[in-house]
Amino acid sequence: MKFISGAMRVIAGAIALQSVAQADCASLMGSKFPDTEVTRAEPVAAGAWTRPVEWGTALAAVVQRLPPFCRVTGIIRPTPDSSIGFELWLPERWNGRYLQVGSGGFSGELYYAGLFQGVENGFATAATDDGHAGIATDWMSGHPEKVIDFGSRAVHATSVASAQIVSTYYSRRVDYSYFSGCSDGGRESLMEAQRYPDDFNGWIVGAPANDWAGEMVLLLHKLQLTATLKDPLTPDQLKGLTDAVVSRCDATDGVKDGVIDEPLKCSFDPAVLECMGAPDGHCLSATQVEFVRRIYDDVRDSASGASLAPGLQGTRGTEAESWHFTRIPDDGGPSGQVLSDQIVHGFLPDMVYHDPRLDYRKIDLLDALKKSSAAIATRFSALSPDLTAVRASGKKIIQYHGWADPGNPAQYSIAYYEAVEKYLRQDNRDFYRLFMAPGMFHCWNGPGPNVFGGAYTPGGIFDADHHLLAALMQWVEKGKAPERIIATKYRDDDPAKPVIRTRPLCVYPRTARWKGKGSTDAAENFVCQ
């Protein structure tokens, strides 16, 4: 296998970076744009970006190699109660294209990693905070316009304002516009395609939280189960569970590599780990066995048994790394909680039940689903299968999801993709393709190959074989649809470090199969079937 350094960037053939006539960066401060105030416009020299927070080593390396660009910040006010913050980075060597990157959770901050990914590859690139500051939900109560901004308007308004600024700066219009987001950014991507199909030529949709009510119920379910578990699983027990699942199901795809390619086909009963005698620190108690079963299973109505949301079947074989929720304290306080729990503690009490003292442990799951759907379905959820306008206009969508996603189950992406196909009554693949990533967590990381140009993951190889954005460009601009994307596993998931493994991601419902000879760590030895 020929390994390519993660630091090496191969520019897609369709991209031509060139210096173009530009206005003086600072002069944008005096420009007038509808509903938009430019609050800063300053040039940034190559490698001189001063990051507002500390990054890990991978992103720090990207920051150091950023090209010179004009940094524009601003506020968009489509209503008196709106305050949509955004940043737009305008590279000195521009490829003629615009990229907008999505957010995550309840936003309230800019995702700079997405800006890095765009500007280092020559895109004029923008991001927005979705209309508020901070990841808490206190901005929702009494601010219906801010709720609308978060739901869909902020992303649309940012695309409109950015297009005007880009045209002013470069003295010509954008050739092609793209959107890339994961998690809530994936929801934003689908929302744009559904509601504002004229904004972009193509969309990258990563692990979309597009069924917001269902997602809230799943998070609530995990919290409730964890709060009632008297003997939380220890790291040793989680590792034992992971090892047992991998031992049972790893080879079902023909390759023993520690990654389960099709976890929904893995039949594993945690009862095999139940303690037969005195606990030894590795076996599971009867209540722990039942806990594991319920986490794997769909979220169900306690009365009817009906499925309310998908469970974490896809995380089989990654429990030791991905089941962080098993260590969440059950006191309901904010200390030590991950973002998903902050969402549940703030969103359900404030937005759905309007009771800040609400005890999440006492909420009925079916009631939460109904009330959440009534409160925010039309504002936050991006579930419409009607992508007729996208298809008719020749625009394209590439969606991806990690099978081992513990926060937003991969089944959501499959369900939406199939719903679109059912609605349109024909194969999606002429305009919309889904790629499932075995062993990948929420948006990135995990034991499987996980660097392939997803949102917020700068670095790696930028060409149509290895990078979703380059592949989307080739599809939109050249008419060549991606049949597979090569995902790379780097040491420590850092593209600046050596390659461990490459593996093709196949167009759903196909999966990668080893040819039976050659290294199982090399993508060229696999075929999509």
Residues 164, 218, single domain; the answer is: no
Question: How many domains is the chain partitioned into structurally?
Answer: 2
**353/415 same-domain check:** no
- How much of the chain is in helix, strand and coil states, percent to nearest 5? 35, 20, 45
Catalytic member of 156, 442, 466, 467: 442
Q: Is a pLDDT exceeding 50 seen at residue 336?
A: no
Q: Of 379, 397, 419, which closes a domain?
A: 379
Question: Domain check: are 320 and 391 in the same one?
Answer: no
Task: Give the CATH number, domain containing residue 406.
Answer: 3.40.50.1820
**In this predicted structure, what is the pLDDT of residue 197?**
98
Q: How far apart are CA 512 and CA 504, in angstroms?
A: 6
**Mind giving me the DSSP string for 227-256?**
HH-SSPPPHHHHHHHHHHHHHHHGGGGS--
For residue 2, what pLDDT is reported? 33
pTM over 0.85: yes
Range of the domain at 391: 22-210+382-455
> Is residue 296 domain-shared with residue 390, that is, in the same domain?
no
* pLDDT recorded at residue 263: 96
- Final residue of a domain: which of 430, 455, 480? 455
Residue from 149, 261, 350, 405 carrying the catalytic annotation? 405
Q: What band does 479 get if pLDDT is binned at 50, 70 and 90?
A: very high
pLDDT of residue 513: 96
76, 107: one domain? yes
Q: Catalytic one among 183, 340, 372, 373?
A: 183
Give the confidence band of 236 by pLDDT, cuts at 50, 70, 90.
very high
CA distance 226 to 102: 31
Annotation marks residue 183 as catalytic: yes
Residues 336 and 402 in one domain: no
pLDDT at 51: 67
CB atoms within 10 A of CB 474: 20
pLDDT band of residue 355 (cuts 50, 70, 90) is confident
Give the pLDDT score at 396.
98
pLDDT band at 10 (very low <50, low <70, confident <90, very high): very low
Structural domain contains residue 521: no
Q: Is 142 helix (H, G, I), strand (E, B) or coil?
A: coil
- Residue 355 in domain: yes
pLDDT digits (tens, 9 = 90+) for 200-219: 999 999 999 999 899 989 99
54-92 pLDDT per residue, tens: 556 666 777 888 999 999 999 999 999 999 999 999 999
499 assigned to some structural domain: no
Q: Same structural domain for residues 114 and 161?
A: yes
| Same-domain check for residues 356 and 414 | no
What is the reported pLDDT for 330?
Answer: 36
Active site residue 405: yes
Q: How far is CA 225 from CA 324, 335, 461, in A?
A: 13, 19, 42
Residue 185 has pLDDT above 50, yes or no: yes
Position 437 pLDDT exceeds 50: yes
DSSP for residue 507: B
In a domain, 464, yes or no: no
Task: Give the Cα separation of 135 and 149 in Å (integer).
Answer: 15
Confidence of residue 141 (pLDDT cuts 50, 70, 90): confident
Of 394, 423, 455, the residue that ends a domain is: 455
State whether 220 and 81 are in the same domain: no
Mean pLDDT, residues 427-438: 97
Average pLDDT value for residue range 218-237: 91
403-416 pLDDT, tens per residue? Answer: 999 989 999 999 99
Measured between alpha carbons, how far is 463 from 461 in angstroms, rounded to an integer?
A: 6
- Structure tokens belonging to residue 500: 């461990």
Shortest CA distance to 525 belongs to which of 1, 167, 110, 41?
1
Q: Tens digit of pLDDT for each residue in 82-109?
A: 999 999 999 999 999 999 999 988 888 8
Structure tokens at 383: 């579930």
Percent of the chain exceeding pLDDT 70 equals: 91
Q: Write out pLDDT tens, residues 155-169.
A: 999 999 999 999 999
Q: Are 165 and 273 found together in one domain?
A: no
Q: Do 345 and 439 sit in the same domain of this protein?
A: no
Among 80-84, 102-106, 257-261, 349-353, the least confident range: 349-353
Verify that 292 and 406 share a domain, yes or no.
no
pLDDT of residue 52: 61
Give the pLDDT band of residue 12 (cuts 50, 70, 90): very low
